[in-house]
Structure 1
């Protein structure tokens, strides 16, 4: 029997804003890796930034994860509900000599940094409150609440074999004794994340490569606690179409904004997966295929470029495959946002079947089907180009035939053919005119199939 630990991954967003695309990609990789290995996926909410964390952000994160179908096996676990645990670990570290209290004031720290800059040195904490054999510390000032700092090893180096980047080494001289507990008893990120990953038995951590500089501190804290190290994989950033990093502060669009814009979750997952990972030349694949293939290899080392046109292409593929009844529900929601009540699910499903091949998003599909539910405004150029005198003369007869026809594609087609014969017209003359008058545009799928979607009285009224 294997003695290897069960694979456990996590995603740990901060609820200080929406779930942005980079975090969604990290969540996908973490989820797929756990599923591939038959492990567990944990959702943790890192809400220790009390001033900026909001319940609205938590709700949006949970909604985004649910829409993407990235179901977690444990959680959500909130850091602010674990303060007692962090504080207890800090006390153990102080007792073990791997952490210590520091009474430096902000003014003292700034003066320290100014002096270091003046000497041309890297700014860092100088260890003045760090205990050492034979070192005499001053008495703690009564009017200052201390922080707790980690006693980072003073020599040697931190090395790890990154799942994405390969071997990385950073010397301990490059990092200092970071604060792990604030005066109010709330832990800092680099400490809380270690205790969490330890307590939750996380074995593999996928995250953005902006965290590489945090990793040496975290590894040293793991070692100080005698805790097993997870494997780290730092994924490159995602660049926007302007070549700059996508980020919350640079206006990266949220996951739910893409939902609102009419993208399908399976398309978003497919696109995000390929934005930094590959399986041969496969561009389109199902969620099940990704789980089968995602073993942590073939992750890109270079930044990925967000490409809206590529996402639209992927989404159009999944639009064609989507169930018409499902699309009908999504279209009804889109129309409701425009104040249009469309409660005929059968009609919407038939419309979805007819128009989805022409659409990249559900919003585009709703644009098409909205013509059934609200008046259209044909462009003057279309009217003058297609509704000429010969067509006008034929319209009364067409209305009479449509009024008596069976209201289905075959009946409408017969009425059109009879009108063509009676007025010596051809379909390329009559069909565009009918489209312009009824649909507000000259190009649609087969005119008889389109008209069959409309209630008969609307078609007759618009032809009038």
Structure 2
């Protein structure tokens, strides 16, 4: 069996969002799960809209998600000589022909067909046939090159998502495969690339279904069998519209900045159109072990921000603290806060309460920067009656051993001395030391805090 070779072929005409990157995830996963090769190809022939900045975001987003490519990136604009050589071969084999029909003539033909309730299509005016005389070649007009699409019969393929698809060749007109200036068009370039790169499986969005019969016919005209196709259903946004930057989709890299984990993103994206039983949370290794094309969904998947946050929270909980700490440290650095060796233990204490590394960094910040107590909680818990209790606790904490057991003992002695219950002391201490009344176990929080900072914040009451 030949080596699996898949590709991701984005157009760099805007930032890459989650709907786009899912079209990279599945071919990457299929290549990895079958010991194959994953290729990155940049389809940059739209010169007006393509930009290097968009290419950079594609590569940066894939790198962050760990979707590593084995070959490429290949750029179509750097392959123009190859396309033109294939066009010349096709011309000499009689597979293409020049068409001199002007845009105005094409528009008039289209209007006439639509008025007659016919499907608008090129009518083959310039297609050479035995015994047919062609119109005189107009002066000063550069022709387009059209592909001689087969006439009669059907073009069919067994789509790994959609099942058997058959299109009548008579539904397809003769496709323009080179513009008047000689530059080749998208559907032609894709086929040459897929042949040259020996692509075995094309896994892409179902907005390409209409291109597929045309591409299959070009493959066969060039004497090659087409790859296996799997056309993925659309990803919808939360409003049920196709995900796009016009509809408020965010660049993939923004999720990194907002504190999402790459493995959580891969987990969430994998479930947007593929499933393994009822498994919701899984590691990257499990995903690759389970992935195949037979369990790709047929219906459109809808993005759900709350579900993504939940998936991220599950991964955050199980991530090793030593691995989590550098990500939290990077979030703190954005705020001008420098962490230290305590950070992994701080992550361990607070990660169950958080759904992003940004939220975790907000907790960690209280250990490295000044806190402003929540005004409402301060008024409620830090009362005149409790201030003498806080002074007692401060004096006991000033000279006890700085570990959880000793801090716990100091708290209990203070409670006993004043005849109070734990919440009556714990709430004001939390507000003063951490800025909020809702934190994990008080002795665990204080142990990780610097003693001098704890004393200063208690005495500031």
TM-score (norm 1): 0.95
- Matched position secondary structure for 1:381: helix
In 2, Cα distance between equivalents of 1:455 and 1:411: 15
Q: Which moved more, 1:120-129 or 1:351-360?
A: 120-129
Which of 380, 393, 398 does residue 398 from structure 1 map onto?
Answer: 393
Number of the residue aligned with 1:179: 176
Alignment deviations for residues 216-250 of structure 1 (CA, whole Å, 9 cap, x no partner): 10011111111121000011111211111112332
1:417 aligns with 2:417: no
Q: Which moved more, 1:378-387 or 1:310-319?
A: 378-387
Matches within 5 A, 1:46-61: 46-61=43-58
Which of 325, 331, 336 does residue 333 from structure 2 map onto?
Answer: 336
- Matched position secondary structure for 2:311: helix
In 2, Cα distance between equivalents of 1:336 and 1:173: 62
Q: Which moved more, 1:41-50 or 1:364-373?
A: 364-373
**Cα RMSD between the aligned structures?**
1.7
Which of 266, 271, 278 does residue 269 from structure 1 map onto?
Answer: 266
Runs of 4+ in structure 1 deviating by more than 3 angstroms, as ranges, are: 138-142
Alignment deviations for residues 271-311 of structure 1 (CA, whole Å, 9 cap, x no partner): 11111111222222222222222231111111112122222
Number of the residue aligned with 1:160: 157
Which of 3, 6, 9 does residue 9 from structure 1 map onto?
Answer: 6
- Matched position secondary structure for 1:75: strand
1:32 aligns with 2:29: yes
Matches within 5 A, 1:14-413: 14-338=11-335, 340-344=336-340, 346-413=341-408
Alignment deviations for residues 359-387 of structure 1 (CA, whole Å, 9 cap, x no partner): 11111111211222333222332122212
Change (3 A) 1:144 1:454: farther
Shift of 1:410: 2.7
Alignment deviations for residues 106-161 of structure 1 (CA, whole Å, 9 cap, x no partner): 22222222222222222222222222222333343343332222111232211110
Shift of 1:89: 0.8
Q: Which moved more, 1:450-459 or 1:151-160?
A: 450-459
Unaligned runs of 5+ in 2: none
Change (3 A) 1:186 1:407: farther
In 1, Cα distance between equivalents of 2:226 and 2:387: 79
Contact kept, 8 Å, 2:339 with 2:368, in 1: the verdict is no
Alignment deviations for residues 17-53 of structure 1 (CA, whole Å, 9 cap, x no partner): 2222123222221112122222111111111111111
How many pairs were matched up? 459
Contact kept, 8 Å, 2:98 with 2:144, in 1: the verdict is yes
In 2, Cα distance between equivalents of 1:107 and 1:351: 70
Change (3 A) 1:249 1:99: farther
- Matched position secondary structure for 1:108: helix
1:431 aligns with 2:426: yes
Shift of 1:84: 0.5
- Matched position secondary structure for 1:297: helix
Contact kept, 8 Å, 1:239 with 1:303, in 2: the verdict is yes
Contact kept, 8 Å, 1:382 with 1:441, in 2: the verdict is yes
In 1, Cα distance between equivalents of 2:331 and 2:445: 20
Number of the residue aligned with 1:453: 448
Shift of 1:90: 1.0
- Matched position secondary structure for 1:418: helix
1:441 aligns with 2:422: no
- Matched position secondary structure for 1:207: strand
Contact kept, 8 Å, 1:22 with 1:208, in 2: the verdict is no
